[in-house]
């Protein structure tokens, strides 16, 4: 069988938001594969660079012809001739060819398109399912069908609202099969749709980027109450829990300067004590020296924000909080994890950006206990696998995630199973770019039969 890569071609196509993205086709003597790269809306500043053309006359500057051209004229010359089964060799060559820390020369979107296409070709040429091929590369001890995190109520950047908690999710954890968990999530989603339509009218059930609804509710508590009502009406009370993606970097204001340091000095309160005792910070209104958090019309210091999250965890069955602090607020993350990390899942996304160096720093800082894994944050398949491996070794959970600008490519569903991730985050059970991933997981579960194992939380 011919394993050597003979041809690579990239083109500009559209993602789920109607923005350009990269599709890469790859051929060997015996197989063909193609991959489409997703794109995020609320992106961390430490992510690998997504290369855009910047020409306002085409796609409002979002074109990706430069990235496609980099694949066709630069990357292809380097990668043609490689054995498609040798994923690490291919990815290392791509990283070396780019030569920058954030893949800014060639573009992470160009590099990832080739990496994903090579991975798919490697599976085909090895006569393996994609998730089996990925498991072999990752040396995962077991394959799991993941618990879905389903973003059913949108706010923040995903719903065109500034300074707000971004995602309100349901997590069907009380089930023994992925298909049963998915069905429970879907039924709850439709129960929520009916509740919203009756209470707020047809406009409230228009869909956001990730398939969730954006009802006119201006507080987190009201949204969580609605989710509990929908879960109850669907008949899954106690079996479906709640999760939040706060995307705190989006409502963090760093223009406060050294206010906290000045106020601490005036009040005679050390910064160490103000971090350790959030109730003191709350009462004395001491703000973080780097800035403050603004949720709608309310302002929060680190301590106040952690107290807010603690109150939500006490009143609602919230079992996971993602990006509860801003991407460089390491003190805030340490405080949040100390206060809540033994009770619930504290997930790093913008904090970690699927980057091993930042994951290691988070481990040293005790900043969180779970990794949100996005392949386009780092730019190659093997780097994503390595990020998951270090997380697992340190007993973190791993959640494989989509982006708000998704595509019909279901690669991340196989990635999730192949690395043995505990959870997946693919959005609401609506819009084909989301359901493509859920449908792929259903097929994998069916294929595995009695060997299929559903993850536990």
Enumerate residues 6+ apart whose C-beta is below 8 A from 341. Answer: 366, 368, 369
Question: What is the distance between the alpha carbons of residues 257 and 254, in angstroms, rounded to a whole number?
Answer: 7
Q: Residue 11 has which token pair? A: 């083109």
The sheet with strand 5-14 has its strands ordered as 5-14, 20-28, 32-36
Question: What is the distance between the alpha carbons of residues 294 and 252, in angstroms, rounded to a whole number?
Answer: 6
Catalytic residue IDs? 210, 374
Parallel, antiparallel, or unpaired: how do β-strands 370-373 and 345-348 relate?
parallel
Parallel, antiparallel, or unpaired: how do β-strands 298-300 and 318-322 relate?
unpaired
- Which residue bears the tokens 């790093």? 348
Question: What is the distance between the alpha carbons of residues 175 and 235, in angstroms, rounded to a whole number?
Answer: 13
Nearest C-alpha neighbor of 327 from the set 248, 209, 212, 441: 248
- Which residue bears the tokens 């706060």? 246
Residue 266 burial by Cβ neighbours in a 10 Å radius (0-12, 13-18, 19+): exposed
Q: Residue 370 has which token pair? A: 């779970």
Please answer whether residues 318 and 224 qualify as being in contact, where contact means their C-beta atoms are separated by less than 8 angstroms.
yes
12 forms bridges with which residues in the sheet? Answer: 22
Please answer whether residues 280 and 303 qualify as being in contact, where contact means their C-beta atoms are separated by less than 8 angstroms.
yes
Question: What is the distance between the alpha carbons of residues 422 and 302, in angstroms, rounded to a whole number?
Answer: 29
């Amino acid at each position: 069988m011919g394993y050597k890569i003979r041809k690579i071609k990239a083109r500009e196509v559209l993602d789920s938001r109607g923005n350009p993205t990269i599709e890469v086709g790859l051929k060997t003597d015996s197989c063909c594969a193609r991959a489409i790269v997703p794109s995020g809306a609320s992106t961390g500043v430490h992510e690998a660079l997504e290369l855009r053309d910047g020409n306002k006359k085409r796609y409002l500057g979002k074109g990706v012809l430069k990235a496609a051209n980099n694949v066709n004229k630069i990357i292809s010359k380097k990668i043609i001739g490689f054995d498609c089964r040798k994923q690490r060799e291919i990815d290392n060559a791509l990283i070396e060819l780019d030569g920058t820390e954030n893949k800014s020369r060639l573009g992470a979107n160009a590099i990832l398109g080739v990496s994903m296409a090579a991975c798919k070709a490697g599976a085909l040429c090895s006569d393996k399912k994609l998730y089996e091929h990925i498991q072999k590369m990752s040396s995962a001890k077991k394959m799991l069908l993941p618990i879905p995190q389903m973003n059913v109520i949108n706010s923040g950047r995903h719903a065109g609202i500034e300074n707000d908690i971004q995602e309100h999710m349901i997590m069907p954890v009380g089930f023994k099969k992925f298909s049963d968990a998915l069905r429970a999530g879907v039924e709850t989603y439709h129960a929520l749709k009916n509740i919203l339509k009756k209470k707020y009218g047809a406009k409230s059930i228009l869909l956001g980027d990730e398939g969730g609804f954006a009802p006119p509710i201006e507080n987190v508590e009201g949204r969580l109450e609605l989710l509990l009502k929908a879960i109850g009406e669907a008949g899954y009370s106690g079996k479906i829990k709640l999760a939040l993606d706060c995307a705190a970097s989006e409502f963090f204001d760093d223009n406060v300067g050294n206010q906290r340091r000045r106020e601490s000095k005036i009040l005679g309160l050390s910064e160490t004590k103000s971090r350790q005792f959030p109730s003191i910070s709350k009462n004395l209104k001491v703000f973080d020296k780097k800035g403050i958090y603004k949720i709608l019309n309310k302002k929060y210091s680190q301590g106040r924000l952690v107290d807010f999250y603690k109150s939500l965890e006490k009143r609602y069955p919230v079992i996971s909080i993602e990006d509860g602090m801003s991407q460089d607020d390491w003190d805030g993350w340490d405080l949040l994890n100390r206060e809540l990390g033994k009770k619930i899942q504290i997930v790093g996304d913008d904090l970690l950006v699927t980057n091993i160096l930042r994951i290691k720093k988070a481990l040293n800082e005790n900043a969180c206990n779970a990794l949100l894994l996005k392949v386009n944050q780092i730019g190659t398949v093997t780097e994503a696998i390595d990020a998951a491996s270090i997380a697992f070794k340190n007993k973190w959970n791993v959640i494989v995630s989509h982006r708000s600008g998704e595509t019909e490519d279901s690669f991340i569903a196989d990635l999730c199973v192949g690395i043995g991730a505990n959870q997946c985050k693919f959005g609401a059970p609506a819009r084909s770019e989301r359901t493509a991933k859920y449908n792929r997981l259903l097929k994998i579960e069916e294929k595995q039969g009695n060997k299929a194992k559903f993850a536990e939380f």
